Chain A
Amino acid sequence: MSKHKLHNAIYTFAYPIVEGSNGGVGVHGTATTVTLAVGQTATLNIYGRLDTFFKLRSVILRAWDSSNNTLIDMTNEDSLPLLSSITCKVYVDGKDGSKVLCDPIRATDLSPITSLSSSKRFNYLLPPRFNITLELTNTGSVGNRTLLVGGHLMGTALLRRKL
């Protein structure tokens, strides 16, 4: 079927925003989970693969309350302010230089993690070996908690050798 001709050239793909097996920010294809105390900002770089272009669709974030060692429970209204206290600014280093794709946006508005929010769509095509920088800030004051932020970049890979 004609669909098959395309599927091994253009397909759904995810880049993790987690502690990679190689560890450390800046290692090809891996990134490190960011721990944020209240008021703290951290930047995180995610590097693209050599063999594919990448069309960034969305940034999905979740947080771990490392002060209490619990995953933030989205069913608990008391927990929601913790997640909405994380903001994320997205920079990309693409073919035509560096660009900011969004001002600091709350994690709850960025990710489809609550029943109310829908995923923020970026639809931005990046070349192989791209560099995406996430600037994460914990703007909250609830319980003065430290948050561990992770997630993934969702999008479409376009295989270089097939294009």
Chain B
Amino acid sequence: MKNDLVRNNVAHRFDEQSKRWIYTYTVDILVPNGGSATANLNISNDADFDIEEITGRMMGPVDANGLFLPAHAVPNTDFPYPASSANASSGVMIKMTDQGDGIELQNDFVYAETILAPGYSPTRYQSTKWPYLLMKNSNLRIDCRNRDTVAGAYHLLSMTFKGYKYR
């Protein structure tokens, strides 16, 4: 009797997992200081993807390979070190658009650190719940702006989308 219950439970779980299983997509974006960059989260053609939450972190300043630059390497930068008076108050800002359905997920660019945990260093501890269904073969466009103004350096944005694949 007990064995039957376990067997049924296992069978049920396998059946469920064949239609819906946990999955994570990641996107890395290198955004030049004073500039912008765009990346696409491409949903594979095997299943729809239901985002549950978004996390991510930003690093800056980094070089063109995404390697962290110490303060002495970029003495004039104004982010995240206290230095010049240039406008770098926000670092990276992001805007997400579902290309598949043409739906904007934000009204405009938002400070990345208010959405992403750990953000910069960390500025947030809790992941952001962002329930959103992306269809297979679609893509989510992520536009980024970097308001750190010192030339020659970058900010690296690493985003993680946690959710479930549906078939």
Instruction: Count how many chain A residues have C-beta atoms less than 8 Å from C-beta atoms of the other chain.
Output: 44
**Residues of B with C-beta under 8 A to A29:** 107-108
A162 and B49 CA atoms in complex are apart in Å by 22
Contact call A7/B132, Cβ cutoff below 8 A: yes
B82 and A68 contacting across the interface, CB-CB below 8 Å: yes
Give the docked Cα–Cα distance between A62 and B122 (Å).
12
A71 near B120 with CB under 8 A, answer yes
Most buried by A among B48, B103, B105, B122: B103
Q: Tell me if B111 and A152 are in contact (CB < 8 A).
A: yes
Contact A4 B82 (CB under 8 A): no
Question: How many B residues are at the interface, by size bracket?
Answer: 35 or more
Residues of B within 8 A of A154 (CB): 128
- Is B80 at the interface (CB under 8 A from chain A)? yes
CB–CB A16/B106 < 8 A: yes
Q: Interface residues of B: mostly helix, strand, loop or mixed?
A: loop
State A12–B106 Cα separation when bound (angstroms): 9
Provide the bound-state CA to CA distance between A3 and B78, in Å. Answer: 45
Check B80 against A71 for contact (C-beta < 8 Å): yes
Q: Which residues 1-15 of A sit at the B interface, judged by CB distance below 8 A?
A: 1, 3-4, 7-8, 11-15
Contacts of B120 in A (CB 8 A): 71
Question: Which residues of chain B come closer than 8 Å to A60, judged between CB atoms?
Answer: 114-115
CB distance from B71 to the nearest CB of A (A): 12
**Residues of chain B having any CB pair with chain A under 8 Å:** 48, 50, 78-85, 88-91, 93, 101, 103, 105-111, 113-115, 120-126, 128-133, 135, 166
Q: Beyond A7-B101, A15-B108, A111-B114: 11 further Cβ-contacts under 8 Å?
A: A3-B50, A8-B103, A18-B90, A62-B114, A72-B123, A74-B125, A112-B124, A113-B124, A150-B90, A152-B114, A152-B115
